[in-house]
Structure 1
Amino acid sequence: MGKYLDSAKAYIGRDAAGLLEGGRYALIHTRSLEFDELRPYVPGDDVRDIDWKATARSGHTLIKRFVSEKHHKVLVVADAGRNSCGLAPSGERKRTVARNLIGAIGLMTVPRSDEIAMVLGDRRGNVDIRLRRGESHIEQMLHRYHHHTADQPGPSDILVQLDRVARHYRHRLLIFVVSDEPEITDRLAEVLDALTARHDVLWALVSDMPAVGLPSAPGRSYEVADGRPILTGLDTEVVEAYRRAEAQRREQLSEFLTSRRIPHARVTGSVRIRAALTAMTGVYARAG
């Protein structure tokens, strides 16, 4: 395992593959009749697969797991533009949080030998990394992402990456979008409607450090790009107005994504990665 995957592993924990089990994933994960092993029941599993005898012996609800005939085909769509150079609320660079998040998604695919690909880029264009499987492939994906975000990236525009996928990726995929919080536009609605008609889409939103009113310094404001303080002594009413506007913007974005049946979660730092992925995949499983 390479250094980027090692970093991601610290934030996803054990049983990463379990986040892709059960529920609606049956549309993608079919099975043979060949028994493989028993595993704990998770919400969304087919109750017909419960092994009642083993459950009675162990005192825990256990599910029969079967040898896979098909695997997930996962596509990560990632913003690698200038917005990724900003700071997250955790104080980390957003590109670090995003890289650990992409690595965690990759680690979910490893135990079942699922295939994973990535489309990354900025407003200038895209880099396509084809479907493959395995840790070496995922480490190379993370290296490519890191290099792009660290080497004078262009302006961020996740619509460029989403439009690329909508136009050129025809076979059904499980898509994880990794970006900051986009502006709601008619064009975004059009592209997402095209994507969700063919693919299953989940969106991890990497948050910015608040521009004003951090708890540790409520009267100061910050440059979002690098966390540098730019004003001091802001009026409390100004800070509260900003917070209300931000809360309203986030609520509108959440309603926009929910209306298109896109599970989503905000990621404020690397320590929140597993919780965010659990929330998204849990919603997705229950939707089935």
Structure 2
Amino acid sequence: MIPRETLRKIRRIQIRTSHKVDELLAGNWHSAFKGRGIEFEEVRPYQIGDDVRAIDWNVTARSGEPFIKLFREERELSVQLLVDLSGSQNLGTTSQTKRELVAELGAMLAMSAIKNNDKVGLTLFTDGIEKAIPARKGSRHVLRLIRELLYCDPIGTGTDVKQALEHVNRVSKRRTVVFLISDFQDSQYESALKVARRRHDIIPVVIADPREHKMPNVGLVRLQDEETGEVITLDTASRKNRHRYAELYRQQTEARDNLFRRLQLTPIHLETGCDIVEPLRKYFHQRESRS
């Protein structure tokens, strides 16, 4: 049985995010994603003016006459939230942790999908797959997703984006809109991302905290890596150390964003303590304009 305090917290985040969905996102959801999924329907003889790229070469070879494939638009989307719960998500130097931001974001996306009669599922990962909930519809299902986003106690602490993408590729047989939500403190996932991009509509959502790119001058501090447990002592009074810290972050983010550009993926960047609605609305409008 779910404790009352847990239920109250779930309801609070549902009410808070539901208002934002109604006001800003729901109207743009389907127009941003419609037409992204298509299903094969039938073949018919080629007619002048048809797109030659739609020719079914197997049927054409057997019949001796050109035939093309016909597709129909899927009116119902399948959405998958692929969410990083590694140790680094516990960082929070503003009014919320990265994990709390992820929970609010996940709730907004799930409710946007449900309000547009789409299915939504959830896969939580660290350096392993922590939990996988199949895509379904309904408000009760959304409440379950919010509960897992808030209270799932992961076993792992590291980040393995590659394994998470490979999991989605295995279990999602139809084309899926995948929100890959992570701080991307990982490497060696480019090949898996390439495969996933061909099969699915991948939307990277980059989660960050202000202190990750700018270290304040607060003297000697002890820092612990939440994913590896390693502890170091850093003199933040040193301008050289602060510059090196910022430069390392810049190099990591530049490598990540260059990868997204090569694969023609447009990420959404969100930061703790900041409004998340405007970046989402801007992204949805951009997709609607492109489509």
Query: Normalising by structure 1, what TM-score?
Result: 0.72
Aligned residues: 245
Instruction: Identify if the C-alpha distance between structure 1 residues 209 and 160 changes in structure 2 by more than 3 Å, giving closer, same or farther.
Output: farther
CA distance, structure 2, for counterparts of residue 76 and residue 107 of structure 1: 12
Decide which of 147, 162, 165 is 1:159's aligned counterpart: 162
In structure 2, the gaps of 5 or more residues are 1-9, 40-72
Matched, 1:146 2:150: yes
What is the DSSP-based 3-state SS (H/G/I as helix, E as strand, rest coil) of the residue aligned with 1:276? Answer: helix
1:129 Cα offset (Å): 0.8
CA distance, structure 2, for counterparts of residue 82 and residue 274 of structure 1: 25
Matched, 1:272 2:272: no
Match for 1:198: what amino acid? R
What is the DSSP-based 3-state SS (H/G/I as helix, E as strand, rest coil) of the residue aligned with 1:177? Answer: strand
1:191 Cα offset (Å): 0.6
CA distance, structure 2, for counterparts of residue 174 and residue 212 of structure 1: 30
> Could you tell me which residue of structure 1 aligns to residue 13 of structure 2?
4
> Could you tell me which residue of structure 2 aligns to residue 193 of structure 1?
194
Matched, 1:84 2:89: yes
1:23 Cα offset (Å): 5.4
- The answer (yes or no) to whether the contact 2:126–2:157 under 8 Å persists in 1 is yes
What is the DSSP-based 3-state SS (H/G/I as helix, E as strand, rest coil) of the residue aligned with 1:113? Answer: coil
What is the DSSP-based 3-state SS (H/G/I as helix, E as strand, rest coil) of the residue aligned with 1:26? Answer: coil
Match for 2:112: what amino acid? M
Percent identity of paired positions between Structure 1 and Structure 2: 14
Q: Using CA pairs below 8 Å that are at least 6 residues apart, which structure has the higher relative contact order?
A: 1
What is the DSSP-based 3-state SS (H/G/I as helix, E as strand, rest coil) of the residue aligned with 1:77? Answer: strand
Alignment of 1:117-128 (within 5 A): 117-128=121-132
Larger Rg: 2
In structure 1, the gaps of 5 or more residues are 31-67
- The answer (yes or no) to whether the contact 1:263–1:284 under 8 Å persists in 2 is no
> Could you tell me which residue of structure 2 aligns to residue 137 of structure 1?
141
Alignment of 1:47-62 (within 5 A): none
Per-residue displacement from partner, 1:23-63 (whole Å, max 9, x unpaired)? 56333499xxxxxxxxxxxxxxxxxxxxxxxxxxxxxxxxx
Instruction: Identify if the C-alpha distance between structure 1 residues 99 and 190 changes in structure 2 by more than 3 Å, giving closer, same or farther.
Output: same
1:264 Cα offset (Å): 0.6
Per-residue displacement from partner, 1:174-228 (whole Å, max 9, x unpaired)? 110111124342xx1111111111111101111145257445x4656554649x9
Alignment of 1:101-116 (within 5 A): 101-116=105-120
Instruction: Identify if the C-alpha distance between structure 1 residues 142 and 276 changes in structure 2 by more than 3 Å, giving closer, same or farther.
Output: same
Matched, 1:75 2:80: yes
CA distance, structure 1, for counterparts of residue 126 and residue 214 of structure 2: 30
